[in-house]
Amino acid sequence: MRVGQNPAKFIDHVAQPQRVTVAVVSYIPFLQGYYAESLQVLKACLGSLKENTSYPHDLLVFDNGSCEPVRDYLMEAQSSGQVQYLVLSEKNIGKGGAWNFIFQGAPGEIIAYADSDILFRPGWLERSVEILETFPRAGMVTARPLRTPEKFYTSTLEWADQTPDVRVERGDFIDWEVYREHVMSLGTSEQEAREWYNSRQDLRLTYRGVSALVSAAHFQFTAYKSVLQQFLPFEMDRPMGQVRSLDERINAAGYLRLTTCEPLVKHLGNRLEEAAPTASRPGKKLPLSARFLHIPWVKQGLLRVYDSIFKFYYG
């Protein structure tokens, strides 16, 4: 039995979502070891997003089973109006599961996705949307120039070859320091980074007055929701390690994979710069105990033990 009328019947309008949904996925199961500074990284991510994103958008955060302090922080961010949509998953369903939810449920026509360890710089979303809307069949646009394997952007090269109105330039358009900033955050050695950098060049496309570099990355990208939904569902049996399937599917379907010409986002990793380990600071010698722990066979053995323990509790 119902008594009276639902007051909602007398509301003559409701809030409409923004055209762009910025979506961030977080996963911080505890605040020790690898994840010791991850909450601070998440705060830096969302703080830079708030400060440097003037383009109209809604923010959706999908939390993949993080620990209580992280959930508390996210609920407070939503209460303050910083986060418009907050999803708290009871368990970690992996990035594939989070993508399945976001690519179907995000209210915007355009989804700007990012991992929770990304730092945003002014203009990142404006430039991404400009490229997305200018280039036909743009599949994903990353707000940072990258050098990735050619097999992930063969469709972009084919389109450039077949389109007379596009200007194609080949050269070193990514500065070494810009390239180094990113790959070093992934744990790559400087020698490996330099070898990869020296063995490749960049391809810059200019179409209807807008320039972009050929490449893209799944850690941060902007795309039309209608395009992303074509590749659902993502069936991944591991939390991470299989996300290249998105890159492969977009390329195989004939869509373009592009980046901005400027580094407008930055990958932080699991530590903030000001808290970088002593080993990365020039001129300081590690103590004997720390040097022992950095011996390759010792380091590899300990990391295997750590990995086994992590999988036991959180796998």
Fold (CATH) for 20-236+243-267: Spore Coat Polysaccharide Biosynthesis Protein SpsA; Chain A (3.90.550)
The structure's pTM equals 0.85
Count other C-beta atoms under 10 Å from residue 293's C-beta.
Answer: 12
Residue holding tokens 């710089």?
121
Q: What is the DSSP letter of 59?
A: E
Count other C-beta atoms under 10 Å from residue 191's C-beta.
Answer: 8
Q: What are the tens digits of pLDDT across the range 112-145?
A: 999 999 999 999 999 999 999 999 999 999 999 9
E-strand ranges in the chain read 20-26, 58-63, 85-88, 110-115, 118-120, 138-142, 167-171, 202-207, 210-214, 220-224, 256-259, 265-267
pLDDT of residue 302: 66
Q: What are the tens digits of pLDDT across the range 240-267?
A: 456 788 999 999 999 999 999 999 999 9
Per cent of the chain over pLDDT 70 is 82
Q: What are the tens digits of pLDDT across the range 145-194?
A: 999 899 999 999 999 999 999 999 999 999 999 999 898 888 788 888 88
Q: Which residue type sits at 94?
A: G
Q: What is the DSSP letter of 11?
A: -
* Between 90 and 309, residue with greater pLDDT: 90
